[in-house]
Structure 1
Amino acid sequence: MSAVVEPVEHGRARSIELVEHGPARSVALPDAVGRALAAGSVVDAAPDPYTPGRWSLRAGSKVGAVAVTVPGAGEPVTVRVAPKVPIARLFFLLGYSLDPKGPWREGEVDVAGHRELLPALAHAVERQVDRALRQGLLQGYRETVESALVVRGRVREAEQIRRRFGAMPPVEVAYDEFTTDIAENRLLRTAVERLLRLPGVPREVRRRLLHQRARLADVTPVIRGQRLPDWRPTRLNARYHQALRLAGAVLDDASPEHAPGGLRIEGFLFDMNRLFEDFVTRALREAVRGSGHTARLQDAHTLDEASVVRMRPDFVLYGPDGTPCAVADAKYKAERAVNKARRPGGFPEADLYQMLAYCTALGLPEGHLVYAKGNAAHAAHRVRHAGVLIHQHALDLDQEPAGLLADIGEVADRMRAVPSPV
């Protein structure tokens, strides 16, 4: 049954506070806002069948905040979803997923004691951008294509003939320009602009972000809907690496930003399912590095002999001879609903069926399911008539990073010690 709450007033804007995978709440909302939340996959939203004007809202695995603005309805409604794990732990998972070699141990990425995700993220990004720009803006060569009154670089003959046959000037030219308007700076500028539009960024952090935007004033931000420019880590842009990786997280597709029919949704969301999967697979890969084994993430295989049914396990470990020797899948939410006897549900059985299919198709005697710690401890099941052993590991995310990585190391040790394939 949904708890009945009213939106909290923060200044003039209305704010609804939810908790990741928490109980549903009944909230008084304009129907247009409720429909927008449901259509945008922000939270599970459904109209109350008995009380017009009220909606039942329940947060899933996405955490963060979004602001919904309805034309003519006054101030926006902000929905905030708090993660169950502490902010410092979440940033460790995020940072390690972005770069296992980076400075992501707790305390090395400053979140300034912020207890909400967006203020902490905005603060962390601003600090990393500031560090990246302390020696000035990075410069590099960028290819420019334009119509010019003078010849510069090389003439684009095909374009000149197609567009201006028999007419000069202007001339269709292409040349390399040494400039600050390069991919790295454009990504930082775009991330700063994005954060400045998000709801809930503290005033002091916003002031510092405005300062960073001024430093990047000559850089062209990426327009909404355009493809983000690619960048590659090199020695020359080393001081930008951490800032660029965090900027990439800010600009990720999980951030809703659209305006159907004049309705506007703007905000930032982390999908904890994806974040946990990224962390587990990258940590497992680091744990087996140097052992002679090869790890592949999201490795494509087929289930059937006709190669019609595709499957993509999160993590497949290959031995020195190039054959699969272990498979793992990461599952963030371990709990099933309690049954009528009020006994905890434990690990979902469907995950076992999925892992059995992976092991069968890959010819492996063991498989590994890795969960965020819920209401069950480690378990192992040997499948009748198949001999396949399926491990179910539970990671406690609310522990020190060293302990969490040690637990991942134990899973990796089990995977390397797997017996000969069936």
Structure 2
Amino acid sequence: MNVTDAPEPVVLTEVGATEVALALDDNQVAALRAVDLVRVRRAAGGQWKIKAGRKVGAIRIGDLEIEVTPKVGVANMLFFLGYAAHPGFRPEDVAGIPTAGLWPALATSLIRHTRRALASGPLRGYAAVDDALPLVRGRIRFGDHVAGRPGMPLPIEVRYDEYNLDIPENQILRTAIRRMLAVPRLRPADQTDLAELDARLAGVTVLSPATPAPRWHNSRLNARYAPALRLSELILRYCSADPGTGTHAIAAFVVNMEKVFEAFIGTALREALSAYPGNTETPGKDTLDEGQAIRIEPDVLHIINGRPAAVFDAKYKIEPGAGKPTNPDVYQMFAYCAALDLRIGWIIYAEGSEPPTTWRVRNSNITVGYRPLNLRQPPAQLLKDVQYFADSAMRAASPLRLGHV
């Protein structure tokens, strides 16, 4: 166990064994427990012990800074997050991300992508405006007018389209910039750059934390915005910053890597299997028993002509010595195959320590396959590995399920 005093950053490794003892006040303890990035327990001498679990990210509470680094690296973590939410998230979206610290990685990447997006000027577009005017412009909002101004002819409640900067793309960018500017103790150079970019989007609506990000659609006009928008959406979803309820300003970026891995595998396999007939469910939904009382939900289920054709389950087990397939995992996949009438099912392990293998179950025609996936490799190669694995799984599927004789 190490003993340290803030303000030096405390850096822990995901699922690491290290515990750190800190002198914390009640507000800091409450914030750490609310964010749930690390485990917190009382120690001797009025101190508190913190330890990393399966969540990764960073939190700043006043002068206290704690970071839990992902074993896959910050760039790959951001790629998994982005790709799981949007397959359009590309490996180049995280190229060149700094390796030292999550906050610098987020800030410098946002600055770089936003500068490129705004290089030829901010996008403009038509945005709907609700207003009360002394004359008719656009369409009259009769219901609002009658409800708010009964018997009054003027002003008139209207809605019209105005060509300006206040469009969804710019709202997402500016809100992400403001969210990063609220991070305490951000590097001065990053603060300056972010403030400059914020000024370029003056007049654009900043979304409140409770407001979901507006939808945007890829087009020829906003193609230069796409990388910045994808990163900005991650910041809006996972990054929070506020003055705090006590004496400390708080900023946090926290993700559960187990959930991230499952979501990434689901999206990556769905994309890889899109070249085959049928559709992919993530997760799959079926039942184990004939009475349909016991539900099963494999992480990925590919269906052709209404019948299961391939089943996969993702396991994020990266603790030391945990990369080997466990009996419960194999039993679970065997149950999936038996219930779905499949002759083979696949377990995908993150950072598996054993070579790929299969087990043929005695007194049955069912085989359980195990495949490790190296999450530390570059994203482009990782997607190639998933595609290769999906192709192999479909070749092993029953020809009748694939529509072949």
The change in CA–CA distance for 1:29 and 1:138 in structure 2 (over 3 A counts) is: same
| Contact in 1 for aligned 2:2/2:19 (Cα 8 Å) | yes
Name the structure 2 match of 1:125. Answer: 110
Say if 2:310 is the partner of 1:326. yes
Residue 389 of structure 1: CA displacement?
2.1
Say if 2:70 is the partner of 1:83. yes
Name the structure 2 match of 1:67. Answer: 60
Q: Which one of the candidate residues 395, 412, 417 is aligned to 2:390? A: 412
The change in CA–CA distance for 1:27 and 1:382 in structure 2 (over 3 A counts) is: same
1:247-276 CA-to-partner distances (Å, cap 9, x unmatched) read: 111111465768456765322123322332
- Could you tell me how far apart the structure 1 residues matched to 2:323 and 2:216 are? 45
Name the structure 2 match of 1:73. Answer: none
The change in CA–CA distance for 1:163 and 1:329 in structure 2 (over 3 A counts) is: same
- Could you tell me how far apart the structure 1 residues matched to 2:212 and 2:83 are? 25
| Contact in 2 for aligned 1:370/1:395 (Cα 8 Å) | yes
Query: So what's the TM-score if we normalise by structure 1?
Result: 0.83
- Could you tell me how far apart the structure 2 residues matched to 1:82 and 1:254 are? 16
Q: Which one of the candidate residues 338, 342, 346 is aligned to 1:360? A: 338
- Could you tell me how far apart the structure 1 residues matched to 2:364 and 2:248 are? 54
Residue 416 of structure 1: CA displacement?
0.1
- Could you tell me how far apart the structure 2 residues matched to 1:292 and 1:194 are? 43
| Contact in 2 for aligned 1:26/1:54 (Cα 8 Å) | no
The change in CA–CA distance for 1:346 and 1:255 in structure 2 (over 3 A counts) is: farther
- Could you tell me how far apart the structure 1 residues matched to 2:243 and 2:262 are? 27
Name the structure 2 match of 1:372. Answer: 350
SS in 1 for 2:215: coil
Say if 2:324 is the partner of 1:346. yes
- Could you tell me how far apart the structure 2 residues matched to 1:262 and 1:384 are? 63
Q: Which consecutive unaligned segments of at least 5 residues does structure 1 have?
A: 70-75, 339-343
The change in CA–CA distance for 1:149 and 1:127 in structure 2 (over 3 A counts) is: same
- Could you tell me how far apart the structure 2 residues matched to 1:100 and 1:256 are? 27
- Could you tell me how far apart the structure 1 residues matched to 2:36 and 2:359 are? 35
- Could you tell me how far apart the structure 2 residues matched to 1:411 and 1:171 are? 62
Residue 207 of structure 1: CA displacement?
1.8
| Contact in 2 for aligned 1:103/1:109 (Cα 8 Å) | no
1:196-225 CA-to-partner distances (Å, cap 9, x unmatched) read: 122464332222111111111110110122
| Contact in 1 for aligned 2:241/2:252 (Cα 8 Å) | yes
| Contact in 1 for aligned 2:315/2:350 (Cα 8 Å) | yes
Name the structure 2 match of 1:286. Answer: 271
Name the structure 1 match of 2:152. Answer: 167
Name the structure 1 match of 2:197. Answer: 212
Name the structure 2 match of 1:147. Answer: 132
The alignment yields a C-alpha RMSD, in angstroms, of: 3.0
Residue 157 of structure 1: CA displacement?
1.6
The change in CA–CA distance for 1:256 and 1:357 in structure 2 (over 3 A counts) is: farther
Paired amino acid for 1:9: P
The residue correspondences of 1:23-422 to structure 2 (distance < 5 A) are: 23-32=17-26, 33-48=28-43, 51-69=44-62, 76-94=63-81, 96-97=83-84, 100=87, 103-105=90-92, 109-111=95-97, 113-199=98-184, 201-253=186-238, 255=240, 259=244, 265-305=250-290, 307=292, 309-319=294-304, 321-335=305-319, 346-384=324-362, 387-420=365-398
- Could you tell me how far apart the structure 2 residues matched to 1:175 and 1:377 are? 63
- Could you tell me how far apart the structure 2 residues matched to 1:334 and 1:98 are? 23
The change in CA–CA distance for 1:307 and 1:296 in structure 2 (over 3 A counts) is: same
1:160-180 CA-to-partner distances (Å, cap 9, x unmatched) read: 222222122222222222221
Paired amino acid for 1:4: N
1:326-376 CA-to-partner distances (Å, cap 9, x unmatched) read: 1112222244x76xxxxx683344433443443334322222121111443
| Contact in 2 for aligned 1:38/1:46 (Cα 8 Å) | no
SS in 1 for 2:148: helix
Paired amino acid for 1:358: Y
The change in CA–CA distance for 1:349 and 1:211 in structure 2 (over 3 A counts) is: farther
- Could you tell me how far apart the structure 2 residues matched to 1:328 and 1:93 are? 18
The change in CA–CA distance for 1:248 and 1:92 in structure 2 (over 3 A counts) is: closer
Q: Which consecutive unaligned segments of at least 5 residues does structure 2 have?
A: none
Paired amino acid for 1:411: F
- Could you tell me how far apart the structure 2 residues matched to 1:306 and 1:140 are? 55
- Could you tell me how far apart the structure 1 residues matched to 2:75 and 2:209 are? 30
Residue 317 of structure 1: CA displacement?
1.7
Q: How many residues align?
A: 399
Residue 311 of structure 1: CA displacement?
4.1
Paired amino acid for 1:409: Q
Name the structure 2 match of 1:7. Answer: 5
